[in-house]
Amino acid sequence: MGKDSTIGIFWNKNVKFKFIDWEKFFEYNLGKLNPGEIKKTEPITIAINTFSQVNHFREFALKKTVNRTDIIESLELSINNGNPFVGVTFPISVIEHKKQKINRNILISSKNNSFKNRKSNFKDNKLSFVVEYERKNNIDIIEMDVQSDIIEFNRDKIIFPVQNNEIIFDNLKKDSYKTYKVDNGIISFETAPDYAPILFSLKFNNNEWLDTSFPDFTSKSWWNPWAGGIYTLPHKLRLKTILKEESMGEFIKVEDIFRNNWEGIKITTHIKENEKYKDLTFYQYFLTLPGVPIMVNTIEIHQKSKIFVNDLNFETMSFIKPENNIQDCSYKFKNFENQYSTIFAGTSMYDIDVKSPIFFSGKNTKEFLLVKTDNKKVEANADVNRQVMSLYLKEKSDKQRFLSTRYYIFSENNIFSTMKNYKFLNIFMKL
């Protein structure tokens, strides 16, 4: 069978399924058989190359509609109950989901040595403990090393320690525009909705990462006017058109599904002038946590227009420029063959569809920006030319009130290059 082949097996829940070494078998209690007596066992169903998705196979086996769930590894490492944003104490669990007992030696450690290593002879199917955490960096990776008589492997998960400092909010006046600024201690971001419904500044350690023309407008490549920054618009609605509409800003606090309290800026744009999108309102959220090197962006849609929003695409543009000279800027990504490629800006035009995550960096800086979304329905396209380096995300609203969460994550060194697991939850999906 090929690497993309699938096999699914299901059986009656009253039948015992057992493991002995490499063998797997079903056990039936047939009792006493009288001469000539016939007994039938419950059927076992094997589906080969029939289902490409686990949830479809589960629905077939259970004969009912089931909620789609993420596939978990048989030996699961759970940190802070799935919440990657941690405090000074948090729980860690190792759970074996297979109904088999294998003696394993497990070592749980912090890449930053922020808590004492935990060693255990994993005899049962669950290990749980609470760590006392000492923050030493903005980002940490929790590593699990597993050893048994037959296999050795390791897994890792990223965490972000949250600080106790307060986030600072400022209303400033810049070139006659009222600006909204948020500073969490290590990153800051700004918008001026009266200028344009865009984020025109995003700084990490006081270094600017966005390319923008604020407080003016200019033309670049095929954009006229061009403002740069980060912004989202309905499909085929241009910045020139949206500038005719009214946009407003406000500071906001939002609780996610883990009850983390995010704070930041909400930009509201209500379309009145454009006939096609008239009475469509959308909200751009730019949010962060205290002392965490992350800004998240999500878009909320309210509509009373004549169009069907579930058929509407939204496009997010991010103009990234980690250095003053565009020729010193580049991005790195995994192609669809799962190989890393690096593209350099400032020389010629290069336009390519990419898979999340995408890493941005500069020739003379040790800092990195990772842009990540976990929704496979988001189409990502990266573009460079002589003037700009941009990332384009396209997503269909698909009857959702909120689009997927987009993560802008900074690191002082490329800690991400050692990671195997980049997965983040769509933390605002239940707002």
Q: Is 275 left (phi over 0), alpha (psi -120 to 50) or beta?
A: alpha
Q: Please state, in angstroms and as integers, the Cα–Cα distance from residue 318 to each residue in 84, 262, 358, 412, following that order.
A: 25, 21, 12, 21
Largest CA distance in the chain: 99
On whether the CB atoms of residues 343 and 349 are closer than 8 A, the answer is no
Which residue bears the tokens 């406000």? 250
pLDDT in tens, the chain (431 residues): 666 688 889 888 888 887 666 677 888 888 888 888 888 888 899 999 888 777 788 888 888 776 655 555 677 888 999 899 999 999 998 887 766 666 788 899 999 999 999 988 877 777 889 999 999 999 999 999 988 777 788 888 889 999 999 999 999 999 899 999 999 999 999 999 999 999 999 999 999 999 999 999 999 988 899 999 999 999 888 899 999 999 999 999 998 888 899 999 999 999 998 888 888 899 999 999 999 999 999 999 887 766 665 568 899 999 999 999 999 999 988 776 777 788 899 988 888 888 767 889 999 988 999 998 867 788 888 899 999 999 999 998 766 678 888 999 998 876 665 555 555 555 554 44
- Token output for 294: 């992350």
Candidates 135, 426, 141; CA nearest to 296 is 426
The fold for domain 75-161 equals Immunoglobulin-like (2.60.40)
Question: If you count DSSP H runs as helices and E runs as strands, how many of each does the chain have, helices first?
Answer: 2, 32
Count of other CB atoms within 10 angstroms of residue 155: 16
Task: Report the alpha-carbon distance of residue 316 to residue 96 in Å, rounded.
Answer: 40
* Contact partners, residue 56, CB within 8 Å, separation at least 6: none
Candidates 283, 216, 308, 227; CA nearest to 431 is 283
Candidates 217, 222, 211; CA nearest to 196 is 217
Task: Report the alpha-carbon distance of residue 367 to residue 356 in Å, rounded.
Answer: 19
pLDDT given for residue 431 in this prediction: 47
Candidates 203, 175, 135; CA nearest to 369 is 203
Task: For residue 215, give the amino acid letter.
Answer: P
Give the CATH number of domain 168-418.
2.70.98.10
pLDDT given for residue 148 in this prediction: 79
pLDDT given for residue 186 in this prediction: 95
Instruction: Give span(s): CATH 2.70.98.10, the chain.
Output: 168-418
Count of other CB atoms within 10 angstroms of residue 49: 12
SS3 427: coil
Instruction: Give span(s): CATH 2.60.40.10, the chain.
Output: 75-161
Task: Report the alpha-carbon distance of residue 61 to residue 55 in Å, rounded.
Answer: 10
